[in-house]
Chain A
Amino acid sequence: MSTTTEPARLPTPDRALRERATFASTVGDTWVLTKRNLLRNVRLPQVLLFSTVQPIMFLLLFTYVFGGAIGQALPPVAEGEYINWLMPGLLVQISVFGAGQTAIGLTDDLSKGVIDRFRSLPMARSAVLAGRTFADLGRNSAVVTLMMLVGFLIGFRYQTSFLRFLAGVALGLAFAYSLSWVMAVIGLYVKDPEAAQSAVFLPVFPLVFASSVFLPTETMPDWLRVFADNQPITTVTNALRALMLGEGALREGQVLSSQLLISLGWIVSITLVFSLLAIRAYRRAVD
């Protein structure tokens, strides 16, 4: 029982649009979303402030509050300067904290309906998570650069070569990238931006402190030391320190090559496992 008499017909599909994701279109979509996510950091003052001021505050507080007392207890490679010891560790700590933004950004998009819009578009699905993690890698790089500059200003000096120093920075960022996927999973399960804050930092704090980030692990009680020595944050920190300060920064029996290899193993396996989990959680979160 047709009641409208208007000339009704199916319009022809718009040829300018695509119906199939290709490799090129996937790269294009990822770039569009990476750019969008990076703009969020630059244009929202509170985000910019939080992500730059916080690491510098950590750097200054730890250097000047603990530095004097701790300097005496460090291996000779630190040359009695806590900042030398602290800087590589802090780089890892900042990377871990920075990765938390992946969870917060994702939950933000989920709660505002932005992810729904993306999913209703003929775009590559993988671009949502890829664009998110790439943008967070970009942001982390900027924050780490800034923190390094301040570090140099207040006396940090690498003891090896510039190339090794750069390799250390790259390792830290790669670790951050792998953790972005862990945070993506957390974010996709939690869904709510406020809950994501605590869900992210609850596990991150003990992991960062029970590691070699701030201090050598030797003085920890046995049960804690065993854990600290074998968790990825410590391994990556050790490798980073050995790259920047020389192998003297490592404990008796540890060498750079093995710390580096184990770190890369962590980074690759965390990325693999958690990107798969994130994709699954993404499907689940939106269905």
Chain B
Amino acid sequence: MTSGAVDPIIEVQGVVRAFGDVRALDGVDLVVEPGIVYALLGPNGAGKTTLIRVLATLLRPDRGSVRVAGVDVVADPNAARARIGLAGQFAAVDAFLTGRENVEMVGRLYGLSARDARRRADDVLERIGLTRDAGRQVGTYSGGMRRRLDLAASLVGRPQVMFLDEPTTGIDPRTRLELWDLIEDLVAAGTSVLLTTQYLDEADRLAARIGVIDRGVVVQEGTADELKDAVGGSVLELVVPDEDRVTAVETISSATGEEVAELGGRRLRVAAREGSRTLLEVVRALDAAGVEADDIGLHRPSLDDVFLAVTGEPAGSDLEADRELADPAAATAGSGGRGRGRRR
């Protein structure tokens, strides 16, 4: 897949990285054009974090080639580091330094002179709205402020690409919206962003393109719309009384010939290849079986459906805990299933 005449900002080919017997990355190909948000979507332990670590020069791939901003990451990691910014799953800022000191320090480590580092730190703090609090020790900051500061620290090097590993995992909804705005501003200012997420709404809102990653491979790739189209047709979602659930699943599946997904609670979902005709068939069949649905609706597929169709499991599920344990890079995330309850 080519992106026309534009040089890609990220170019990954056949990247393999194993931890012991587990292949965290099993032949990843990825091309990202500059100036957009690209979202890597996948369950825990799918290899998202490992891929970010490879791209950010923290991990050498066993095989394959990785180019970021035109630089071969494996052959010339330091040149790549001068062009990238990384914000990991933790806010890697020092609680005992002030906000400004944190940003300035990272600026110095990017190779800026003390004067440049100070000037850029002021700019960046202004941009993320932390000027007023810049003189306070970070220990007194809220979680959301720390995340923003963490992002700001990388921005001081004016990176061409920002890697954000689950930037909004474990933070409150308001801060999440703030971070989304910040990321959109970043891209508007010309930075390319690659982020990983377990949240489909996040990918839907931010990303121009989405790659679904599962078991160390990018299994599907495209815009949100393309992905949704790929699932095909519409989906039918139902809420049924708990005592009728088993009957409902059998009835629907024999009426449509499709597999019925149980989404937890009393919610069921099934592909509706023929749209409203499928809806009618299901309603009739349920009626005949004596099941009365509490709610029933026909939707255009959401990213959730894409995710389900592609990876065979609902987003944010915990089924991957074993694989996560086997992947030390992902295991440190410790976020096990924070995606729960966000399936909608």
Q: Assuming the A-B contacts A13-B83, A32-B105, A122-B81, are A112 and B160 also in contact, with contact meaning beta carbons closer than 8 angstroms in the complex?
A: no
Chain A nearest Cβ from B121, distance in angstroms: 13
CB-contact partner of A43 in B34, B70, B110, B137, under 8 A: B137
- Is the CB–CB distance between A4 and B33 below 8 Å? yes
Per DSSP, are chain B's interface residues mostly helix, strand or loop, or mixed? loop
Chain A nearest Cβ from B161, distance in angstroms: 10
**Binary interface profile of A, 10-30, with partner B (CB < 8 Å = 1, else 0)?**
110110111111000100110
Q: Assuming the A-B contacts A13-B160, A40-B94, A118-B109, are A2 and B4 also in contact, with contact meaning beta carbons closer than 8 angstroms in the complex?
A: yes
Q: Is B1 an interface residue (CB 8 A)?
A: yes
- Is the CB–CB distance between B157 and A2 below 8 Å? no
Q: Is A44 an interface residue (CB 8 A)?
A: yes
List residues of B whose CB falls within 8 A of some A CB: 1-4, 6-7, 9, 33-36, 53, 56-60, 69-70, 76, 78-79, 81-86, 88-92, 94, 96-97, 101, 105-106, 108-113, 116, 137, 153, 157-158, 160, 190, 208-209, 223, 226
**Binary interface profile of A, 56-73, with partner B (CB < 8 Å = 1, else 0)?**
000000000000000000
Chain B nearest Cβ from A287, distance in angstroms: 6
Q: Assuming the A-B contacts A14-B157, A120-B86, are A8 and B34 also in contact, with contact meaning beta carbons closer than 8 angstroms in the complex?
A: yes
Report how far A29 CA is from B109 CA in the complex, Å: 6
Report how far A33 CA is from B94 CA in the complex, Å: 12
Chain B residues with CB under 8 Å of A16's CB are 111-113, 116
Chain A residues with CB under 8 Å of B106's CB are 117, 121
Q: Assuming the A-B contacts A3-B223, A10-B7, A10-B70, are A117 and B108 also in contact, with contact meaning beta carbons closer than 8 angstroms in the complex?
A: no
Across the interface, name the chain B residue whose C-beta is closest to A123.
Answer: B109
Residue picked from A6, A44, A118, most chain B C-beta under 10 Å: A6
Report how far A6 CA is from B188 CA in the complex, Å: 11
Q: Is A53 an interface residue (CB 8 A)?
A: no
- Is the CB–CB distance between A19 and B82 below 8 Å? yes
18 contacts between A and B (CB under 8 A): A2-B2, A3-B223, A6-B36, A16-B111, A17-B110, A18-B111, A32-B105, A39-B97, A113-B89, A113-B91, A116-B92, A117-B86, A117-B92, A120-B57, A120-B81, A121-B106, A122-B82, A287-B58
Q: Is A251 an interface residue (CB 8 A)?
A: no
- Is the CB–CB distance between A123 and B111 below 8 Å? yes
Size of interface on A: residues with Cβ below 8 Å to B: 41
Across the interface, name the chain B residue whose C-beta is closest to A6.
Answer: B35
Complex A-B, nearest 4 residue pairs according to Cβ-Cβ distance, in ascending order: A18-B111, A113-B90, A113-B92, A122-B81
Report how far A44 CA is from B106 CA in the complex, Å: 21
List residues of A whose CB falls within 8 A of some B CB: 1-4, 6-11, 13-14, 16-21, 25, 28-29, 32-33, 36, 39-40, 43-44, 112-114, 116-123, 286-287
- Is the CB–CB distance between B111 and A25 below 8 Å? yes
Q: Assuming the A-B contacts A25-B111, A29-B109, A117-B153, are A122 and B34 also in contact, with contact meaning beta carbons closer than 8 angstroms in the complex?
A: no
Chain B residues with CB under 8 Å of A17's CB are 82, 110-112, 157-158
- Is the CB–CB distance between A9 and B34 below 8 Å? yes
Chain B residues with CB under 8 Å of A116's CB are 53, 58, 86, 88, 92
Chain B residues with CB under 8 Å of A21's CB are 78
